[in-house]
């Protein structure tokens, strides 16, 4: 049975939230394997979720991209909160170093998740159009 583009369009938001959870937890779980592996897992979670969220749902590309843009912003906030709270008092400067490091890593997380999510969304939409067009 062909399930391409049959799920409700609002489910793309569930895929976006899932990308946040899987990306952050996966990056934390693979932190011992090195930074490249950890970032690869994080990026891959957003690519796969973006692809599946667009491919399996009735959501248009614009809505899927919007969902993953919001997910990227939320991910940046999560990374900022985690890093600034963990490094806040290490330097003894009242949390300034932790805030700076939190902003820096949040920007990196936003860029990585934005590129991965939007890339997955656009690719999923193109593949979905190709499969639906071939079936007609």
In degrees, rounded to 5, the angle at the alpha carbon of residue 15 between the alpha carbons of residues 51 and 130 is 25
Q: What pLDDT was estimated at residue 87?
A: 75
Q: What pLDDT was estimated at residue 1?
A: 53
Q: Indicate whether 24 belongs to any domain.
A: yes
Q: Which of 111 and 101 is assigned the larger pLDDT?
A: 111
Count of domains forming the chain: 1
Residue-averaged pLDDT of the chain:
89
Q: Indicate whether 87 belongs to any domain.
A: no
- Which residues lie closer than 8 Å to 19 by C-beta, 6 or more apart? 45, 46, 48, 49, 50, 68, 71, 113, 117
Q: Indicate whether 5 belongs to any domain.
A: no
Q: Indicate whether 27 belongs to any domain.
A: yes
Q: Indicate whether 50 belongs to any domain.
A: yes
Q: What is the pLDDT of residues 37-49, one digit of tens each?
A: 999 999 999 999 9
Let me know if 67 is exposed, middle or buried by CB neighbors in 10 A (0-12, 13-18, 19+). buried
Q: Indicate whether 105 belongs to any domain.
A: no
- For 9-23, give one letter per residue: b (16+ CB within 10 A) or e: eebbbebbebbbebb
Q: Which domain holds residue 58?
A: 11-72+113-135
Q: Indicate whether 28 belongs to any domain.
A: yes
Q: Indicate whether 51 belongs to any domain.
A: yes
Torsion, Cα of 105, 106, 107, 112 (10° steps): 90
Q: Which of 84 and 20 is assigned the larger pLDDT?
A: 20
pTM: 0.87
């Amino acid at each position: 049975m062909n399930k391409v583009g049959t799920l409700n369009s609002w489910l793309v938001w569930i895929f976006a939230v899932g990308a946040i959870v899987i990306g952050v937890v996966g990056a934390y779980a693979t932190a011992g394997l090195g930074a490249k592996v950890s970032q690869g897992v994080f990026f891959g979670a957003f690519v796969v979720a973006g692809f599946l969220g667009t491919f399996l749902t009735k959501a248009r590309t614009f809505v899927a991209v919007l969902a993953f843009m919001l997910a990227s912003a939320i991910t940046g906030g999560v990374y900022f909160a985690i890093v600034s709270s963990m490094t806040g008092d290490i330097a003894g400067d009242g949390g300034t170093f932790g805030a700076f490091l939190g902003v820096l890593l949040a920007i990196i997380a936003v860029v990585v998740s934005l590129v991965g999510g939007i890339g997955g969304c656009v690719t999923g939409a193109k593949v979905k159009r190709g499969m639906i067009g071939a079936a007609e």
